[in-house]
Structure 1
Amino acid sequence: MATSVVLQKVEKRYGAMDVIHGIDLTIDPGEFVVFVGPSGCGKSTLLRMIAGLEEISGGGLLLDNERMNEVAPAKRGIAMVFQSYALYPHMSVYKNLAFGLETAGYKKADIQPKVKRAAEILQIEKLLERKPKALSGGQRQRVAIGRAIVREPRIFLFDEPLSNLDAELRVQMRVEISRLHRSLGNTMIYVTHDQVEAMTMADKIVVLNSGRIEQVGAPLDLYNNPANRFVAGFIGSPKMNFLKARIEQVGETETSIHVCGNSVRLPRRLKGGAGEEVTFGIRPEHLSLAEGAITLSTVNVDLVENLGGATMLYTTTPDNQLLTVALDGQQKVAPGANVKASFDPARCHVFDAAGKTI
């Protein structure tokens, strides 16, 4: 049965240094939740606190409404998969999968079906007699995940499990972990700095920054409605464009802003006042060269990347700001050309001086 996880004002400090600042979070039973953020934001520390590998300095951790702060890691019903595979090199795959159950006192007759089931789920039945050195990186990671599955935990915790794999294997393992979640239905918490992993795998994303939660929501909610500039810049690939701008006039149903040397009308009322300095945000994929849309600016093309399925333009605006434009398909645009970058005003974002969406 899937387990709920509740963090109540959770804090972590090392001596006088606070690293986790009063985090409140609810994870529903069976959810796949991804902690994402830059290096040093506290995501792995938070995961280790849930596992019991780090002491909670303040606040409470509840699993199915039961306080866990003082409960030993082994008694929390949690299995953790690390970035390093941490397999025993002298043991076969079967022994690696079975070892934890053996040390916990399980009988051989009970261990065998658990190992068999995990091997079937991960499609490693033919590898059970091999040693880790005879496995590829992806196969080793499957064994590490299988070692977690055999314990039949309440919650799976993943700490950047794909970081050691090459790009192709990472994509494959993302699919396999997502499939695993669907088949088992357990609550899973996954830590990564890779926002593409977060977007493609999560039911819910928790964006962390300097030990605080910036925003929690479904992947497309964060993509379409970022709460602030930090989330807007972290979620989405390629990164959102940020341009210096100024509010010119605020009406009842529209706002005029000055950006890239032009006056642009947005069909909504912004919270700021005339003369206020703001940041205009637009994703590269929401820009086009199409006639008829609102022109943001005429830009100079510095570099063209032809990717086959898409064309990336790296450009400079008349006021020397950098603007990336992502176009569908194969476009014939030459470096040095001047083009009109247009946009749909419903897809842009505006942030105040503090970085908050307005």
Structure 2
Amino acid sequence: MSQATSIELRRFVKRYGAAEVIHGIDLQIEPGEFVVFVGPSGCGKSTLLRMIAGLEPISGGDLLLDGRRVNDVAASERGMAMVFQSYALYPHMSVYKNLAFGLETAGAAKDTIRRKVEHAANILQITPLLDRKPKQLSGGQRQRVAIGRAIVREPKVFLFDEPLSNLDAELRVQMRVEIAELHRDLGNTMIYVTHDQVEAMTMADKIVVLKDGHIMQVGAPLDLYNRPANRFVAGFIGSPHMNFLTARVTGRDGDRPILDIDGQTVTLPRPVPGLTEGSTTTIGLRPEHMRLDPRPGMQTMTDIHTNLQESLGGQTLVYAQTPGKQRLIIAVNGQHDVPREIEIWFDPANIHVFAEDGRTL
């Protein structure tokens, strides 16, 4: 397999006429990293991937592969292979022919083609399917063939554009594992685009969170989960999403702010620069960081009204609201029959505090 490559974006810009959709992005991807671009629809993640692939022209800035500027290098000469959301298989060709077609077009020798096709089929466990046509395959098998078509090219970089979107939930989980194992076995640089933060959290070495053509934060999955740079990242990473509550600063216990949340008093465990007495702020608390039973050292909120509960077997999701009608989702392990009125317990060390502009304080 080809040596993994480094990728660097410098002041990367994309414009369609007067409309700028990618705004001067800087990003460094190390050789062999599995990097996931994640964000809501329209954030620019697929556009960014297509610019890297050479399928979209770069309006401004530089793309460097192993330190070499490749803005004007054709897509076919960048050493990359792309796997799309649609499988894009030739329906009249066998799986073998689908895998071999690109190599045949490039004039590769027959024995080289056979060796590469059989190698890819073995990696993806599709050897028994080589004589079948695409219509005889399941969705997961078709996606494996699409990935195999990329593998036979022996690229330096794999690019995945929402490759699992057309699969059912069980197959998505299975293919997530298989793609992660593929990265481990091949060691290539991989960039993976998805709107699904669960895919991002479970697969990535490094996540790039995008919004409106800007990078919101770059980091390892648990870094983004534990230390989000702003409210957008805090709300996007994690499932169910983080709860956000409006609170008023009523005083201090030493240098620790005391907050009022709909009549409930919460003392933060640390100083927070920028919080002044009498001001309002937004705090964040993840559903899985709340409990229905008391624990030493935890603080409590009472008079929480439950609206709905979802029993998932190993976990129960409780949809509730504070006395001031602020909405909460509480995720508790196990099976529970939750009453209409409850109190919740939480470690104040798990509270995130956000400035008016969304920055984490």
TM-score (structure 2 length as normaliser): 0.97
1:164 aligns with 2:166: yes
1:318 aligned residue: 323
In structure 2, C-alpha distance between the alignment counterparts of 1:223 and 1:116, rounded to whole Å: 40
In structure 2, C-alpha distance between the alignment counterparts of 1:188 and 1:20, rounded to whole Å: 21
Alignment map for 1:246-325 (pairs within 5 Å): 246-250=248-252, 253-272=255-274, 273-292=276-295, 293-325=298-330
1:354 aligned residue: 357
Alignment map for 1:60-99 (pairs within 5 Å): 60-99=62-101
In structure 1, C-alpha distance between the alignment counterparts of 2:187 and 2:254, rounded to whole Å: 48
Is the 8 Å Cα contact of residues 81 and 159 (structure 1) preserved in structure 2? yes
Alignment map for 1:1-358 (pairs within 5 Å): 1-250=3-252, 253-272=255-274, 273-292=276-295, 293-334=298-339, 337-358=340-361
Is the 8 Å Cα contact of residues 248 and 275 (structure 1) preserved in structure 2? yes
Letter of the structure 2 residue corresponding to residue 287 of structure 1 = M
SS in 1 for 2:190: strand
Q: CA shift at 1:247, angstroms?
A: 2.0
Letter of the structure 2 residue corresponding to residue 255 of structure 1 = P
Residue by residue over 1:191-250, the C-alpha shift from the partner in whole angstroms, topping out at 9 and shown as x without a partner, is: 000000000000000000000000000001000110000000000000110111122235
In structure 2, C-alpha distance between the alignment counterparts of 1:62 and 1:250, rounded to whole Å: 51
Letter of the structure 1 residue corresponding to residue 315 of structure 2 = A
Instruction: State which drifts further: 283-292 or 148-157.
Output: 283-292
SS in 2 for 1:301: strand
The aligned length equals: 356
Is the 8 Å Cα contact of residues 250 and 269 (structure 1) preserved in structure 2? no
Q: CA shift at 1:260, angstroms?
A: 2.6
Instruction: State which drifts further: 258-267 or 142-151.
Output: 258-267
In structure 1, C-alpha distance between the alignment counterparts of 2:253 and 2:355, rounded to whole Å: 18
Residue by residue over 1:303-339, the C-alpha shift from the partner in whole angstroms, topping out at 9 and shown as x without a partner, is: 11111101111111101111111111112313xx211
Letter of the structure 1 residue corresponding to residue 357 of structure 2 = A
Is the 8 Å Cα contact of residues 33 and 206 (structure 2) preserved in structure 1? yes
Residue by residue over 1:80-119, the C-alpha shift from the partner in whole angstroms, topping out at 9 and shown as x without a partner, is: 0000000000000000000000101111111110000000
Is the 8 Å Cα contact of residues 253 and 267 (structure 2) preserved in structure 1? no
Gaps of 5+ in 2: none
Identity of aligned residues (%): 67
Runs of 4+ in structure 1 deviating by more than 3 angstroms, as ranges, are 250-253
Q: CA shift at 1:13, angstroms?
A: 0.5
Q: Assess, with a 3 A threshold, how the Cα gap between structure 1 residues 138 and 258 changes in structure 2: closer, same or farther.
A: same
Is the 8 Å Cα contact of residues 260 and 296 (structure 1) preserved in structure 2? no
Q: CA shift at 1:252, angstroms?
A: 5.5
SS in 2 for 1:303: strand
Q: Assess, with a 3 A threshold, how the Cα gap between structure 1 residues 196 and 329 changes in structure 2: closer, same or farther.
A: same
Is the 8 Å Cα contact of residues 36 and 194 (structure 2) preserved in structure 1? yes
Q: CA shift at 1:167, angstroms?
A: 0.3
SS in 2 for 1:98: helix
Is the 8 Å Cα contact of residues 23 and 213 (structure 2) preserved in structure 1? yes
Q: CA shift at 1:297, angstroms?
A: 3.6
Q: CA shift at 1:276, angstroms?
A: 2.1
Q: CA shift at 1:296, angstroms?
A: 2.9
Letter of the structure 1 residue corresponding to residue 141 of structure 2 = Q
Q: CA shift at 1:262, angstroms?
A: 1.5
SS in 2 for 1:50: helix
TM-score (structure 1 length as normaliser): 0.98
Gaps of 5+ in 1: none
In structure 2, C-alpha distance between the alignment counterparts of 1:261 and 1:126, rounded to whole Å: 65
